[in-house]
Amino acid sequence: MTVAIVDYGSGNLRSAAKAFERAAREAGTHERILVTASTRDVIEAARIVLPGVGAFADCRAGLYGVPGMVETLQREVIERGKPFLGICVGMQLMATRGVEYGVHPGLDWIAGDVVRIEAKGQTGKDHLKIPHMGWNELDALKPHALLEGIAPRDHAYFVHSFQLAASRPETVLGQTDYGGPITAIVGRDNLAGTQFHPEKSQATGLRLIANFLRWQP
């Protein structure tokens, strides 16, 4: 079976593909990992991954700029229920809207807005900088197939200035702390998204990817 990593001009796709290939190899699931901008490939894939790096509006413009891709994702993910994983801004695009440099509608798969992080740290040398960049602990993890084998205080790698403020608490599967709680993982039904980069998160990331490759929502 094929895992389609959607290429719309955003994200370190080679790094993501290598991480998925390694996880598939180590888990013995033998999926074909395909980086693609083809709607036909997405239609034929068993699982779909949407990465993303940069500003919400730019990523949204890139995704909507691929002819037929948004309509294909809506059909394959929402109507046909294929397992879906959004990564970083790919996760943010699942929201109702983003408010970075204007208001921009998202896919509206996870109710909520993508808002700027308000890091309420101390002043001086302990001041929390934006963007939130580097390793941080996961916490407030809820039971979920994608989080099997991942425990509170396991570390993941983040690079972001905005977070998905979910309207429904039950869709937040995990958080991290950066001057207050920050959404780290969201999900419902056959949808999941990580604010952190699993492809850069070493053992934690590979475990989550392997779980995604086995996930039967």
What is the set of active-site residues?
Answer: 88, 197, 199
Q: Cβ of 201: how many Cβ atoms within 10 Å?
A: 23
Q: How distant is the alpha carbon of residue 176 from its chain centre?
A: 14
Half-sphere exposure of 145 (CA within 13 A, CB side): 16
- Phi and psi at 158, nearest 5°, equal -115, 145
Phi, psi of 93 (to 5 degrees): -65, -15
Where residue 112 falls (left for φ over 0; alpha for ψ -120 to 50; beta otherwise) is left
Tally DSSP H helices, then E strands, for the chain. Answer: 6, 13
Coil, strand, or helix at residue 76?
Answer: helix
